[in-house]
Homo-oligomer: A and B are copies of this chain.
Amino acid sequence: LADGRQSEAAIRVWRGAARLLRQHGFACVGELTLASGRRADLAALGPKGDVWIVEVKSSLADFRADSKWPDYRLHCDRLYFATHAEVPLDVFPQEAGLILSDGFSAEILRAAPEHRMAAATRKAVTLRFAQAAANRLHDALDPQARGEV
């Protein structure tokens, strides 16, 4: 979100999906780099430490270009796609959940199956999430925090 590379449509899908997750007690971070080097569009950390990853697909082409989505399952407990009403919903795989966002709010159309991470993986993903969120917030509050002082 807000790093200048996403389309307006993707930003809107993200916003609605993140508001929905937040209402369910999940804290959300965009563009989280995973241990594999791949970046999750939206990572969400639940009240009990559950990790959900949401991949934002703003067009059919956007979905079709992504052959790597099963890999995301290794880094979360549930995997969702999020899209908007102009994308045909039947292309999205049953093996993942599906969130429909209108840019302001969103709804879960299909719950994602759960595939619990091992404790060590969970710890690593949670640490990654925490550090990314805190460092971005810190950079916003103190732009000189990142570099050499």
A residues apposed to B, CB below 8 Å:
1-2, 15, 18-20, 22-23, 27-30, 45, 47, 49, 104-105, 123, 126-127, 129-131, 133-138, 140-142, 144-146, 148-149
Which of the listed residues A28, A133, A146 has the most CB atoms from chain B within 10 Å of its own CB?
Answer: A133
Q: Known pairs A22-B138, A22-B146; list 14 more (Cβ under 8 Å).
A: A2-B141, A18-B138, A19-B145, A19-B149, A27-B131, A27-B134, A45-B130, A47-B131, A104-B149, A105-B149, A126-B130, A129-B134, A133-B134, A133-B137
For A122, give the chain B residue with the smallest CB separation.
B123
Q: Is the CB of B137 within 8 A of A29?
A: yes
Interface of A is mostly: helix
Number of copies of this kind of chain in the complex: 2
Inter-chain contacts of A27 with B (CB < 8 A):
130-131, 133-135, 138
CA distance A15 to B138 in the complex (A): 10
A49 & B127 in contact (Cβ 8 Å cutoff): yes
Q: A18 to chain B: which residues have CB within 8 Å?
A: 138, 142, 145
Q: Pick from B20, B30, B137: contact of A140, CB below 8 A.
A: B137
**Nearest B residue to A32 by beta-carbon distance?**
B134
- Interface pair B138/A28, CB less than 8 Å apart: yes
